[in-house]
């Protein structure tokens, strides 16, 4: 059979990794796909690097629209990133009847509904394994491997940069800025690293996982996002002493009154597998009613790990290219006309447990007043530590049982107004993952 023809948009870290993997493993990939997969044209805004690799072997230019309109091309790989031009090119490729493979989580988290609707109408596939957790086949697992289950929750470390930063801060006591610079040098960070450290990149990925797990439309605008920029070394140390590690988690949970969709730092018990995922590695735990908890672990960023997912998508598309579009796996795991309209809960309505730290005058009655405020809001304490700071001043750390966030916020506000409390209350959520 003749090769399937691929056009590559973008030739950065993942683009060149994709070319390397596809070339190195060409024979095995063809045996799996049923035919060869051939990159026949490359377009990038800055073609110099691609030109130096391909020379005269392939057309390489900056005509992105020309590539997505090229009648010879069956599949477009979108690796230019960003939202504006990428959206335009993906929509044009779909309109031209091309299948699309993309690693662009930001694009799908924001415009996925429009993109999947257009693709369904045109009968083309939009595959995005590389958009979530790099090389880990988490999309395939949720969309196909776990289809028997009613999924209850998904929780994961889905940003390598922040996990690398938190690991280095904990293990080597290094400051945040030093480790961020190192992550950028190693190529883990997004072009705009604020997407990593503010939790936006993880929220893009979590939004897609929530849609796949619960069969809901893509709703990035409803996600609660809190990054690691305000995290203090002191809390990493306290967490460690209490038997926890702080991780930036993406969590989505089915609740009776809606779905939780949230990204934030969280204390995770140190003995949990997720707490032991270090460096730029990613891991996702999925809890289904039939299977229980399953864990997926691997490289979440980098050239060839991400290329592994891109090429897997290329093989899938190649295998299914000639099938009836109505019989293909739906983009979001559920049939488009069967997506549910379930409410995403505001952060004040989520339920979890909490770590609270604040500074008080060390005198009689202080703890009694604090615990009364918590009791009045039905917030139950699971552990408490007092540490002498200076003469007459102490740090109090309280761990709570599960409580409603809105109640915890009100309690924090009341604690902060007590005359003997000399700092704001640092609040970090805790996830026992059980
Ligand atoms: N910046 C991302 C990360 C790259 O650090 O995980 C992969 O999406």
The SS3 of residue 266 is strand
Find the 136 Cα to ligand 1 centroid distance in Å.
12
Note the pLDDT tens digit of each residue in 156-210.
999 999 999 999 999 999 888 899 899 888 878 877 889 999 999 999 999 999 9
Residues 190 and 276 in one domain: yes
The pick from 132, 134, 306 for probing ligand 1's pocket by mutation, whose C-beta has the most ligand atoms within 8 angstroms, reads 134
The SS3 of residue 2 is coil
pLDDT at 391: 84
- From 244, 248, 280, 254, select the one nearest 383 (Cα to Cα): 244
pLDDT of 132 higher than 90 = yes
DSSP, res 340: B
Nearest CA, atom 4, ligand 1 = 301
339 in a domain, yes or no?
no
Ligand 1 atom showing the smallest separation from residue 161 Cα: 5
| Mean pLDDT confidence for 146-155 | 98
Looking at the 3D structure of the chain, how many domains does it have? Answer: 3
343 in a domain, yes or no?
no
Ligand 1 atom showing the smallest separation from residue 131 Cα: 8
pLDDT at 434: 80
pLDDT at 1: 86
Q: Does ligand 1 have an atom closer than 6 angstroms to the CB of 104?
A: no
Residues 10 and 106 in one domain: yes
| Mean pLDDT confidence for 305-313 | 97
pLDDT at 338: 96
Residues 146 and 113 in one domain: no
Q: Are 201 and 133 within 8 A, CB to CB?
A: no
- 269 - beta bridge partners? 244
Residues 119 and 188 in one domain: no
In percent, the amount of the chain with pLDDT more than 90 equals 93
Find the 369 Cα to ligand 1 centroid distance in Å.
44
Q: Is 159 left (phi over 0), alpha (psi -120 to 50) or beta?
A: beta
Ligand 1 atom showing the smallest separation from residue 196 Cα: 1
Residues 107 and 173 in one domain: no
278 in a domain, yes or no?
yes
Q: Are 22 and 16 within 8 A, CB to CB?
A: no
176 in a domain, yes or no?
yes
Residues 176 and 237 in one domain: yes
Backbone angles phi, psi at 111, to 5 degrees: -120, 15
User: Among all residues, which ones are annotated catalytic?
Assistant: 205
Q: Does ligand 1 have an atom closer than 6 angstroms to the CB of 301?
A: yes
pLDDT of 144 higher than 80 = yes
Q: Does ligand 1 have an atom closer than 6 angstroms to the CB of 160?
A: yes
Report the C-alpha gap between 392 and 359 in whole angstroms: 11
| Residue 10: CATH number of its domain | 3.40.50.720
Find the 194 Cα to ligand 1 centroid distance in Å.
11
338 in a domain, yes or no?
no
pLDDT of 305 higher than 90 = yes
Ligand 1 atom showing the smallest separation from residue 163 Cα: 5
Terminal alpha carbon distance of the chain: 50
Residues 156 and 171 in one domain: yes
Q: Does ligand 1 have an atom closer than 6 angstroms to the CB of 189?
A: yes
Q: Does ligand 1 have an atom closer than 6 angstroms to the CB of 167?
A: no
Q: Does ligand 1 have an atom closer than 6 angstroms to the CB of 305?
A: no
Q: Does ligand 1 have an atom closer than 6 angstroms to the CB of 190?
A: yes
| Residue 239: CATH number of its domain | 3.30.360.10
Residues 213 and 311 in one domain: no
Residues 323 and 257 in one domain: no
pLDDT at 191: 76
Q: What range defines the domain where residue 286 resides?
A: 138-299
| Residue 417: CATH number of its domain | 3.30.70.260
324 in a domain, yes or no?
yes
Report the C-alpha gap between 168 and 239 in whole angstroms: 15
CA dihedral sign of residues 241, 168, 231, 275: negative
- The whole-model pTM stands at 0.96
Report the C-alpha gap between 75 and 318 in whole angstroms: 9
Report the C-alpha gap between 275 and 245 in whole angstroms: 6
Residues 206 and 255 in one domain: yes
CA dihedral sign of residues 133, 135, 136, 141: positive
Backbone angles phi, psi at 364, to 5 degrees: -60, 140
């Amino acid at each position: 059979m003749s090769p399937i023809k691929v056009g590559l948009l973008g030739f950065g870290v993942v683009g060149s990794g994709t070319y390397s993997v596809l070339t190195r493993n060409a024979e095995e990939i063809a045996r799996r796909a049923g035919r060869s997969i051939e990159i026949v044209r490359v377009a990038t805004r800055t073609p110099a690097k691609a030109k130096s690799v391909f020379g005269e072997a392939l057309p390489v230019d900056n005509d992105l629209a020309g590539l997505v309109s090229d009648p010879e091309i069956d599949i477009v790989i979108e690796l230019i990133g960003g939202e504006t031009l990428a959206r335009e090119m993906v929509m044009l490729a779909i309109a031209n009847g091309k299948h699309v493979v993309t690693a662009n989580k930001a694009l799908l988290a924001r415009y996925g509904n429009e993109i999947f609707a257009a693709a369904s109408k045109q009968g083309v596939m939009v595959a995005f394994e590389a958009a979530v957790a790099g090389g880990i086949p988490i999309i395939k697992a949720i969309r196909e491997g776990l289809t028997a289950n009613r999924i209850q929750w998904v929780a994961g470390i889905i940003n390598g940069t922040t996990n690398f930063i938190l690991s280095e801060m904990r293990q080597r006591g290094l400051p945040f800025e030093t480790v961020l610079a190192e992550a950028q040098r190693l190529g883990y960070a997004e072009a705009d690293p604020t997407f990593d450290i503010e939790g936006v990149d993880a929220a893009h990925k979590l939004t897609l996982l929530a849609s796949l797990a619960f069969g809901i439309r893509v709703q990035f605008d409803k996600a609660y996002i809190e990054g690691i920029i305000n995290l203090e070394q002191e809390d990493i140390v306290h967490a460690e002493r209490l038997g926890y590690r702080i991780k930036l988690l993406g969590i989505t949970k089915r609740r009776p009154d809606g779905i939780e969709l949230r990204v934030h730092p969280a204390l995770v018990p140190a003995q949990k597998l997720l707490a032991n995922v270090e460096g730029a590695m990613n891991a996702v735990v999925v809890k289904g009613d039939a299977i229980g908890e399953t864990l997926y672990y691997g490289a979440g960023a980098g050239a060839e790990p991400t290329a592994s997912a891109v090429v897997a998508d290329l093989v899938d598309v190649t295998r299914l290219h000639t099938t009836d579009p109505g019989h293909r796996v739906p983009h979001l795991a559920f049939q488009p006309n069967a997506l549910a309209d379930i409410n995403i809960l505001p952060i004040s309505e989520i339920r979890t447990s909490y770590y609270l730290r604040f500074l008080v005058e060390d005198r009689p009655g202080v703890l009694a007043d604090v615990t009364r405020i918590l009791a009045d809001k039905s917030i139950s304490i699971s552990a408490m530590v007092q540490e002498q700071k200076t003469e007459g001043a102490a740090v109090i750390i309280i761990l709570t049982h599960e409580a409603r966030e809105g109640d915890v916020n009100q309690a924090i506000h009341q604690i902060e107004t007590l005359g003997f409390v000399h700092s704001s209350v640092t609040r970090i959520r805790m996830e026992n993952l059980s």
